[in-house]
Amino acid sequence: MTKFAVIGLGMFGYRVAVTLAERNAEVIAVDKDPRKIEAIKDKVTLAVRMDSSIEENLVAQGLNRVDSVLVCIGENFEANLLTTVLLKKLGVKQVIARAANDIQSQILKLVGADRIVSPEDDMGKRIAQNLLMSSILDYIPLTNGHSLVQIKTPSSFLHKKLRDLHLRDQYKVNVVAIKEQGIDQDEKTIEKIHSVPDPNHIFVENDVLVVVGSNSDIEKIAK
């Protein structure tokens, strides 16, 4: 099982941690505020009250051994920055850091953050979904457990026609668009969107599916 840690449990961090846990991921939630730890302790694998800007604390709780860490200490950028530096020093595979503005984003990139995210609450769910399934490129939650998702074409779909995959029957999802991606003569990315998918479209490696369906059904394709 993939292991995640979320450091800083404001609205954004809390949302990411809970969404990951709801998807059956192993999640360590970290904050200095005992009230925030109390609020999330029954929703994640482990909730720890500690100062993440101290290297010994990170090692003691095994954060150097998780696959991805999201650092989103919104009220203290210095702590956010130092925690990011320490996690990269300890060899964490993926450190995702929250930035409140462009200057913070530039600084975090300079110290080695693998990815920068903005603090909008709605983005929290998108980040969590992307962490769980890297084939999902973007994720927009709709109502009643359904979503609109951009997903990399699964390898099992390659060189097959859309009509022959019977996605509505087999996966209960609807393909609302297909994005063809490529490189032009100037080595720039080009993109062509088919908003009315051709049933005879033959999938190639860089195609992206835009589908609508229940989260559980979409996950079957993403996995």
Chain segment 27-57, per-residue pLDDT in tens: 999 999 999 999 999 999 999 999 999 999 9
User: Is the Cβ–Cβ distance between 90 and 59 less than 8 Å?
Assistant: yes
Q: Which domain holds residue 177?
A: 136-222
Answer yes or no: do 128 and 142 share one domain. no
Assess whether 60 and 94 both reside in one domain: yes
Are 124 and 60 contained in the same domain? yes
Q: Where are the beta strands (DSSP E) in the chain?
A: 3-7, 26-31, 46-49, 68-71, 94-98, 115-117, 136-141, 146-152, 174-183, 189-194, 208-214
Q: What is residue 75's predicted lDDT score, i.e. its pLDDT?
A: 81
Q: Give the separation between CA 3 and CA 67, rounded to whole angstroms.
A: 5
Strands 94-98 and 146-152, by their bridges, are unpaired
Predicted TM-score of the model (pTM)? 0.61
Residue 151, pLDDT score? 83
Q: Residue 63 has what DSSP assignment?
A: G
Domain count, the chain: 2
Q: Residue 170's domain is classified under what CATH number? A: 3.30.70.1450
14-28, 133-147, 208-222: segment of lowest average pLDDT: 133-147
Amino acid code (one letter) for 122:
D
- 86 and 173 housed in the same domain: no
User: What gap in Å lies between CA 19 and CA 141, rounded to an integer?
Assistant: 12
Distance CA 134, CA 71 (A): 19
Provide the percentage of residues in the chain whose pLDDT is more than 90. Answer: 40
Q: Look at residue 143 in the predicted model and tell me its pLDDT.
A: 63
109 and 7 share a domain?
yes
CA-to-CA separations, 90 to 59, 62, 64, 118, 124, in angstroms, rounded: 8, 10, 6, 24, 25
Q: Both 154 and 169 in a single domain?
A: yes
Same domain assignment for residues 156 and 49: no
Mean pLDDT to the nearest integer, 13-17: 90
**Residue entry with tokens 């993109």:** 191
How large is the average pLDDT for residues 70-84? 92
Query: In this structure, are 13 and 69 located in the same domain?
Result: yes
- Of 154, 97, 151, 114, give the one whose Cα is nearest residue 129: 151
For residues 2-8, average pLDDT: 93
Asked whether residue 126 falls in the same domain as residue 152, the answer is: no
Based on the fold, state whether residues 84 and 39 are members of the same structural domain.
yes
Query: Same domain, yes or no, for 128 and 150?
Result: no
Residue ending a domain, among 69, 102, 132, is 132
Q: Read off the pLDDT of each residue in 62-69 and give the average, rounded to a whole number.
A: 93
Dihedral sign for Cα 131, 132, 133, 138, please. negative
Q: What is the pLDDT of residues 108-163, one digit of tens each?
A: 999 999 988 876 545 566 556 555 555 566 666 666 677 778 888 888 888 999 99
Distance of CA 68 to the CA centre of its chain: 10
pLDDT value, residue 121: 44
Of 132, 147, 167, which closes a domain? 132
CATH number at residue 30: 3.40.50.720
- For residues 63 and 159, state if they share a domain: no
Say yes or no to pLDDT of 107 above 60: yes
